[in-house]
């Protein structure tokens, strides 16, 4: 909708008011928000505010081979995961808000560190995620309690020290009760996260809030609470689905429909769903007017074997979602996704790096393995008709 014509004096007043309001938001205390990241998105600005870009990616799952690679990259001084993310750093760091999924917990400084089945990853993973440009991660997964409350605490402590936010697990009841809030453009963005299970590990004694479990009523209640806390946009990360299955399962489809249909005063309670867990890329689909990413696949993982015991390259494929949000025409209305994009990526095990496939193929179009990966990711992502709603491959 076009902005009504204004006089020069009125435009000047609006600019001054916007500057004052943004300054007040950035300087307010006690709200877990991050400073607005300006530049790089090209998101639209209107009299109602400035839009933003969101980047989201899949599971970070450091197997033993990944940990060994980080040790080699550190050249004898600990672990360095930064080279793994170097190829996607330009895309991630350019977004106004970038979210990852930290599937595992961290071991104590100095180790021991372990991969599958009970993960304890080097805490230097968090440093690499921050260096790549991520602002925070979802931390609710089936591996969140692999080392009980101690592993959970170590992980979130490292996030705090690194400057990453987190959603989905908590050290205290008060922390669990607060929505994770960011400032992106002129929007207040809430990030909530949940998991289908914790691999049979019970919640720590007296800490039923330690990990958010995936229950429809709780998700809706939390989303409404986040809205009351001032969120303009509510993002929900769900660790769900059936491993090695490209098609979303009945739980994903049913819960996705229910959550996207939930409304308060005619406004959706949830503005986007970001899925992880299945190990392979799954579709992006617009349901009830809301984008659902059923599964982004693995971003970082070692050699992956499916349930038949066969090496399955799909376990090293993933997508990065990039969404442009525009402010509403009037206060209290929904922020709209005006552009929906995905970027195929791949964990190249021989190089020990996450590959931005479109960029890599532009430089070396003869890489058949990269082309095969990009085709497979694109087929999965577009498999439920997302193209008809404007979903495109980002270069």
pLDDT tens for residues 108-158? 999 999 999 999 999 999 999 999 999 999 999 999 999 999 999 999 999
pLDDT for 3 beyond 60: no
Residue 356 in this model has a pLDDT that exceeds 60? yes
Q: What is the pLDDT of residue 43?
A: 73
Q: What does the pLDDT look like over 276-330, one tens digit per residue?
A: 999 999 999 999 999 999 999 999 999 999 999 999 999 999 999 999 999 998 8
What does the pLDDT read at residue 18? 39
- On the question of pLDDT at 12 being above 50, the answer is no
pLDDT score, position 77: 92
| pLDDT above 90 as % of the chain | 86
Q: Per residue in 183-195, pLDDT tens?
A: 999 999 999 999 9
Indicate yes or no: pTM above 0.85. yes
pLDDT at position 42? 59
Domains of the chain: 30-393 (3.60.21.10)
Over range 186-205, report the average pLDDT: 98
**Look-up of token digits 């025409």:** 329
Mean pLDDT of 161-179: 98
In this predicted structure, the answer to whether residue 341 has a pLDDT above a threshold of 60 is yes
């Amino acid at each position: 909708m076009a902005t009504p014509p204004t006089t020069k004096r009125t435009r000047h007043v609006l600019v001054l008011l916007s500057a004052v309001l943004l300054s007040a938001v950035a300087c307010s205390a006690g709200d877990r928000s991050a400073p607005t990241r300006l530049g790089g998105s090209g998101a639209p600005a209107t009299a109602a505010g400035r839009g933003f870009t969101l980047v989201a990616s899949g599971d970070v799952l450091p197997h033993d081979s990944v940990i060994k690679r980080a040790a080699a990259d550190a050249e004898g001084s600990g672990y360095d995961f930064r080279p793994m993310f170097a190829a996607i750093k330009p895309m991630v760091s350019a977004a106004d808000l970038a979210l990852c999924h930290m599937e595992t917990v961290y071991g104590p400084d100095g180790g021991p560190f372990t991969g599958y089945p009970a993960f304890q990853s080097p805490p230097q993973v968090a440093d690499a995620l921050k260096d790549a440009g991520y602002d925070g991660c979802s931390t609710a997964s089936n591996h969140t309690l692999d080392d009980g409350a101690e592993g959970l605490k170590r992980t979130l402590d490292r996030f705090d020290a690194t400057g990453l936010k987190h959603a989905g697990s908590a050290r205290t009841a008060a922390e669990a009760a607060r929505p994770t809030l960011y400032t992106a453009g002129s929007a207040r963005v809430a990030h909530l996260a949940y998991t289908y299970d914790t691999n049979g590990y019970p919640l720590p004694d007296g800490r039923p809030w330690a990990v958010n479990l995936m229950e429809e009523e709780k998700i809706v209640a939390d989303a409404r609470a986040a809205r009351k806390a001032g969120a303009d946009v509510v993002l929900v990360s769900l660790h769900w689905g059936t491993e090695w299955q490209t098609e979303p399962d009945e739980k994903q489809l049913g819960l996705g429909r229910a959550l996207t249909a939930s409304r308060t005063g005619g406004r959706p309670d949830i503005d986007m769903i970001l899925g992880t867990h299945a190990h392979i890329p799954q579709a992006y689909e617009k349901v009830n007017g809301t984008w659902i990413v059923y599964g982004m696949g693995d971003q970082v993982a070692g050699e992956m074997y499916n349930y038949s015991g066969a090496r399955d390259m799909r376990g090293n494929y993933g997508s990065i979602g990039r969404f442009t949000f525009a402010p509403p025409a009037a206060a209290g209305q929904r922020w709209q996704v005006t552009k929906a994009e995905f970027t195929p990526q791949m964990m190249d095990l021989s190089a020990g790096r996450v590959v931005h496939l479109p960029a890599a193929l532009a430089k070396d179009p003869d890489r058949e393995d990269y082309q095969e990966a990009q085709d497979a990711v694109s087929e999965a992502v577009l498999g439920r008709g997302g193209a008809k709603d404007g979903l495109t491959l980002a270069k």
